Structure 1
């Protein structure tokens, strides 16, 4: 009887062991399948790695924003792609963009002109416009200038307009110093100059003796060294140099408005001096070079993240969605 019971226990144990062994076969097969899937995913990811270069030139105003976006793209997305960002100015940049085998993108602080579009068509270049942010044209003065902290829109225009009849601060208001004003700004290579000339001055002649410079950093230094200087450029160059210069609060008719990310936003109180800034894509380059199209996608989907830190107000979400649809069309 004892022998029978022992044999019965041993038989039961053998059944249990067999069952466990049979169960272990299925998980092992699943693990192998999972490993094969993981390898496939890695291969897919590897195939999406890009290389080559992306060449961006143009606006000095947009440069701080685009250079940050480019750096983040190379770190986050495609370390083997080199994105080269230069700042020859909007107009000079279009000169490099609208030629065969030109740059891939041109940043611009104004819209492309009709004659530039005609040049693109003549050279067989298809151009796609993307807004990247909103910028506020900011007037800056010396930190110790305590009389011109608040000016009306008309007073500011009179300083730079040849017909304004203003050469001294006292010409604006009698209580201001009887000192010659030193007006300054970016030169003709910059879209900021053209925006100011066309939109703010309404194509009126600039006052004689206005000091026009290629580099915005030069303007910052000149204003910081001259108590009678006044210059204009994008908000980003002001907000990154508040230790050297101060901004003029502008009265557009309802009291002084300080330029800020809130006021230069869409429909903000600083709207009369607010403008969109752009990048223009060479569509043919985007179709020929996958890294160009990939970078365009990164710009569209991430530019709002970096707008504020570089002195720009972000775009509304609906515009981002529209641009993604445009890029989807290019990849078909």
Structure 2
């Protein structure tokens, strides 16, 4: 199986366990061993999985377990209670999550992992729509959402909209509210909610009048399943892509992705080494862009993240 094929599988997975390969010539080169538990964002999940796979080929004694729980689900149920070493997130940690972590004496740092182009998709047979304005998109997803396509635009068919999207434990859900509908407008309850991108894609693929949204990586690795819409934020219709996300043209759905390592975990050599490896890989064009489908960090941004990490490791192990 190629890494690209593996990533297609990761897109539909809820949990993946990555163990070191005992056959690898360079494995266990520094005698590292131990377990690393990671939860959080389904959007960051394929990137973390791909990097963990690379790391484990060199370190046979390190076992990495990654769960796709949603950014908020990861913070609230796993990371801030002190049960995981990292939390992946598709948005920044919220004040209430910061408070929960503080109450449990969980200190952490924030590391930028990549840039995503949050992707809105429709059925491949939905030939009536190729682009939506932000206002039209908001009308579909706000709390008092429209019910039929012709309420979005007069020339659209008088057919009921079927919605598939991120669960309310997801950072993608939070990001959509803040950057599409606006916090006052909220998010409709009239949709199928899930943390699994493949479930969203299957739902949209199963109905001509469906719409959904998820991180760009799943669409990038499964481009024939559904049709990606362009978004018009006032400067014309822009399709999601690595180029438009990198250039800043794909607004407001281009966003940074994060991982949060716990300081107590960075005190352990095998976790610290994995964190260093993760940051090193964030500029890996082949892995981050070509295989996973996100925009890698610039060299300058990577250097900034590595300096932050090394300072945290020094503090944690001092």
Query: Under a length normalisation based on structure 1, what TM-score does the superposition of the two structures give?
Result: 0.81
- The CA deviation at 1:47 is 7.7
- The CA deviation at 1:141 is 0.3
Q: Which residue matches 2:257? A: 277
Matches within 5 A, 1:1-332: 48-75=30-57, 77-94=58-75, 95-100=77-82, 102-163=83-144, 166-203=146-183, 204-265=185-246, 267-287=247-267, 289-305=268-284, 306-308=287-289, 309-329=291-311, 330-331=313-314
Q: Which runs of 5+ in 1 are unaligned?
A: 1-44
- The CA deviation at 1:214 is 3.1
Q: Residue 174 and residue 93 in structure 1: after superposition, are their counterparts in 2 closer, same or farther (change >3 A)?
A: same
Give SS of 1:155's match: helix
Distance 1:234 1:257 in 2: 16
- Which structure would you say has the larger Rg? 1
Give SS of 1:271's match: coil
Q: Residue 48 and residue 258 in structure 1: after superposition, are their counterparts in 2 closer, same or farther (change >3 A)?
A: same
Q: Residue 256 and residue 229 in structure 1: after superposition, are their counterparts in 2 closer, same or farther (change >3 A)?
A: same
Q: Which runs of 5+ in 2 are unaligned?
A: 1-26
Query: Under a length normalisation based on structure 2, what TM-score does the superposition of the two structures give?
Result: 0.85
Give SS of 2:242's match: coil
Q: Residue 189 and residue 162 in structure 1: after superposition, are their counterparts in 2 closer, same or farther (change >3 A)?
A: closer
Distance 1:172 1:116 in 2: 36
Give SS of 1:264's match: helix
Of Structure 1 and Structure 2, the greater helix share is in 1
- The CA deviation at 1:73 is 0.3
* Count of residues paired in the alignment: 283
* Alignment root-mean-square deviation, CA: 1.7
